[in-house]
Structure 1
Amino acid sequence: MKLQTQVPLQRAEHQFDYQNQLLLLGSCFVENIGKKLDYHKFRSLQNPFGILFHPKAIENLLSKSIQDFNYTSKDIFYRNERWHCFDAHSDLSDVSKEELVRKLNDGLKDTRHQISESSHIILTLGTAWVYLNKATNLSVASCHKVPQTEFSKELLSVEDIVTSLENSIGFIKSANAKANIIFTVSPVRHLKDGFVENQRSKAHLITAINHLLDDNVTLSAVEGYFPSYEIMMDELRDYRFYKTDMVHPNDLAIDYIWERFKSV
């Protein structure tokens, strides 16, 4: 008796082992897989700017790291007794202005180095919803609890996401032409955006990635797609695979997806 429908996986053409280095950027699912890689002693770097939920935030990090951008005190702001940067997650925020600037520039340096050394780069997309800072009209990686009146919320179109991902691929390939790029969509549901809105967001991300994979020119630049979202939604279609918040995959789900990831 078959009690589960299983997402078919295609074995990757280019495998990685302990001789290789890896870079993982994106949603909080990166943290889950990253911990597995660390536990098994793979040489990897995960989210030097903290969790980046949407494609534009990933593109921004790659752009600034490749172009040797240098953060200064003009790029950060003070709020609630801490210094913050709209380009990075609050994990990097600090009580010291100088320390935050140092961490930001170290993060760019580490990213740039890891791009050049990595055989595989995994980009995990969490949401297509972005917040635009009204003062600059630029998307932010984190709002840092700044009043919502200072932002406008926007759903990135499929075309916008495709363009952003193409830019990210270009930045990576300019530093490491041999890097194998793997896309995945985070299985974490962003229900604060709304149930329907979360599904619209995931649909835009998946459609954009598959548009790239269907493009013969782009296909030569990427390794492919790992269906972590589809595995969670189909193979693990039960709330016993979620944490108590009913949004994030629990340890059992993460272990299961990790085993599926290893198999390819």
Structure 2
Amino acid sequence: MKLQTQIPLTKAKHQIDYNSQLVLLGSCFVENIGSKLSHFKFQSVQNPFGILFHPLAIENLVFRAIHDEKYTEDDVFYLNERWQCFDAHSDLSANTKEALLDNLNKGLKVALHQLKQASHLILTLGTAWGYKKLSTEKIVANCHKFPQAAFHKELLSVGAIQESLARIIALIRTVNSTVQCILTVSPVRHIKDGFIENQQSKAHLITAIHGVINFPGEGKEYFPSYEIMMDELRDYRFYAEDMVHPNAVAINYIWEKFIEVWVSGEVFGMMKDIDAVQRGLAHKPFNAASEQHQKFLAKLKDKIAYFEKEYPFMKFSL
């Protein structure tokens, strides 16, 4: 008896291994996949401007990074005792104007460096809803609790999303013609926009992404993270307490599906060994001074020394 519908998956042509250079941009689901990639010590950089929910925010980051448009004091503002920027997440906010500008311009530098050498770009869209600042007629990346009367909420059309995604890919290809683009829609439900509005938003994102995928040209593939959550994990036991975000079980399940499609089977053994090291580092001994634990630490240090010698980009902390 079959008790679950499963989305058919096909192994990707250009798979990820430990030589791959990964850039992850987009919604908070990027953070989930990014943390897994970091755990297994893949070479990856995620969200230099923090979480970005919609394509126009991502496009702005990519455009400014590639065109070297640095941020100045005209681009930032002071609110709630912090310096903020409408183009970035509050993670980059700072106590001083100078610190914020430094964070922003370092983010641009990191983004450009990684985009130039990336083998894979993972782009995850969270919502098609945006907030346009009335004084500038520009849709912001983050409102930073600025007075709501200063914004007009609007739903990006399928055409606008598709055009933005096409521009993002075209921009990146000006500095990196071989990058493989993995496009996906975040399974996080944006129900603050409304239940029906969330579904409408996801529909716009999915339709626009497939419009880009189906446009002539290679190096663009879709990974169905949203569909896996909706069809294979259609139960509230797979959600966190807020009933909005996937919980750890769901994240692990989707991660396993991602590996199945995108990660080369040749590195599965190595991933298992690295996971063992990570678990060893997280282990809390009953008696730290015991001979048994000291032997355990010695073996762990030998494993770490091997990985850091063979793969200099890997760093572990005892």
TM-score range, shorter chain: over 0.9
Please list the CA deviations of residues 133-182 of structure 1 after superposition, one character each: whole Å capped at 9, or x if unmatched.
Answer: 10100010100000110000010000000110011001110110010011
Contact 1:13 1:223 in 2 (8 A): no
5 Å-filtered alignment, 1:13-162, equals 13-162=13-162
Matching residue of 1:235: 232
Matching residue of 1:258: 255
Q: Mark the structure with the bigger radius of gyration.
A: 2
In 2, Cα distance between equivalents of 1:10 and 1:129: 31
**Superposition deviation, residue 9 in structure 1:** 1.1
**Superposition deviation, residue 36 in structure 1:** 0.1
Contact 1:185 1:205 in 2 (8 A): yes
Matching residue of 1:191: 191
Please list the CA deviations of residues 189-217 of structure 1 after superposition, one character each: whole Å capped at 9, or x if unmatched.
Answer: 0000000000000000000011112222x
In 2, Cα distance between equivalents of 1:177 and 1:213: 16
Please list the CA deviations of residues 75-119 of structure 1 after superposition, one character each: whole Å capped at 9, or x if unmatched.
Answer: 100001000000000111111110000000000000000001110
Please list the CA deviations of residues 49-98 of structure 1 after superposition, one character each: whole Å capped at 9, or x if unmatched.
Answer: 00000010000000000000111111100001000000000111111110
Letter in 2 for 1:263: E
1:175 alignment partner, SS class = coil
Deviant stretches of 4+, over 3 Å? none
**Superposition deviation, residue 11 in structure 1:** 1.4
2:173 alignment partner, SS class = helix
**Superposition deviation, residue 223 in structure 1:** 2.9
Matching residue of 2:276: none
Matching residue of 1:212: 212
1:144 alignment partner, SS class = coil
In 1, Cα distance between equivalents of 2:220 and 2:124: 14
* TM-score w.r.t. length of structure 1: 0.98
Match of 1:226 among 220, 223, 228: 223
Which runs of 5 or more structure 2 residues have no equivalent in the other structure?
Answer: 262-318
Cα-Cα RMSD: 0.6
In 2, Cα distance between equivalents of 1:18 and 1:255: 20
Contact 1:25 1:52 in 2 (8 A): yes
Contact 2:132 2:140 in 1 (8 A): yes
In 2, Cα distance between equivalents of 1:214 and 1:22: 23
Contact 2:213 2:220 in 1 (8 A): no
How many residue pairs align between the two structures? Answer: 261
Letter in 1 for 2:49: F
